[in-house]
Amino acid sequence: PDTGGNPDTGGNPDTGEKPDTGEKPDTGEKPDTGTDNGSNSKIIESTTNQVIHQKTEKITDITSSVLIKEAVDTVESYQGLMSLYEMYYGIDLRTKDVGPKLEEGSLDAIATDQSLYYVLNKQSLIDLISNLVSSSITTEIKQDMSGLKQKINSYQQSITSADQNSILLAEKLNGTTQQATSMNENLGEYVKGLAKWRENSLKLVEEQQVVTTNHAGEQTAVLSLDSGIKSLMMQSQSLVESSKHSLATSDDVYKTFDQINGQAKEIQDSGTTIVSKADLLLNDFTKKMEDDKSFSKNFTKILANSRIGDRQNEMLYDFLASPVQKQNDGVIVAGNAFTPYLIVLTCFIVALFTAYAIANQEKKRMQSDHFEEKFSLIDMNVPTTVVAFGISIVEGISIGIISGRLLKFGQDQSLLWIAFITFIMMAFVLVSTYLLRQIKMVGMFILLVFLSMYLFLTEAVGSKVDQMSSVGKIRQFSPLQYIESFLNDFISGKDTGKVIFVVLFVIAIIGLVSNLFVWHKKWEEKEVNDQTMEHSG
In eight-state DSSP terms, residue 330 is: -
Using pLDDT thresholds of 50, 70 and 90, give the confidence band for residue 198: confident
Q: Is the pLDDT assigned to residue 178 strictly greater than 70?
A: yes
Distance CA 277, CA 272 (A): 8
Where residue 395 falls among pLDDT bands split at 50, 70, 90?
A: very high
**pLDDT category, 352, cuts 50, 70, 90?**
very high
Using pLDDT thresholds of 50, 70 and 90, give the confidence band for residue 59.
low
Q: Is pLDDT at 154 greater than 90 in this prediction?
A: no
Contact at 8 Å (CB) between 242 and 172?
Answer: yes
Among 137, 140, 131, which residue's Cα sits nearest to residue 113? 131
Task: Check if the beta carbon of residue 437 is closer than 8 Å to that of residue 359.
Answer: yes
pLDDT at 418 over 60: yes
Q: 126-320 architecture in CATH?
A: Orthogonal Bundle (1.10)
Q: Rounded to 10 degrees, what is the CA torsion of 465, 468, 474, 480?
A: 60
Determine how many CB atoms are found less than 10 A away from the CB of residue 474: 13
pLDDT at 333: 38
Angle at 460 between CA 454 and CA 465, to 5 degrees: 75
Report if pTM > 0.85: no
Q: Answer whether residue 195 shows pLDDT above 70.
A: yes
pLDDT of 479 strictly over 90: no
pLDDT band at residue 389 under the 50/70/90 scheme:
very high
Predicted confidence (pLDDT) at residue 433 exceeds the cutoff of 60: yes
CA distance linking residue 338 with residue 343, whole number of Å: 8
pLDDT of residue 367: 62
Q: What is the mean pLDDT of residues 325-341?
A: 50
Is the pLDDT at 350 greater than 90, yes or no? yes
Q: Of 187-191, 354-358, 468-472, which gets the smallest average pLDDT?
A: 468-472
Which pLDDT does position 8 carry in this prediction? 43
Q: Provide the pLDDT confidence category of residue 321 given band limits of 50, 70 and 90.
A: low
Q: What's residue 28's pLDDT?
A: 42
Q: Which residues face 53 on adjacent strands? A: 44
* pLDDT confidence band for 218 (50 / 70 / 90): low
The more confident residue out of 408 and 325 is: 408
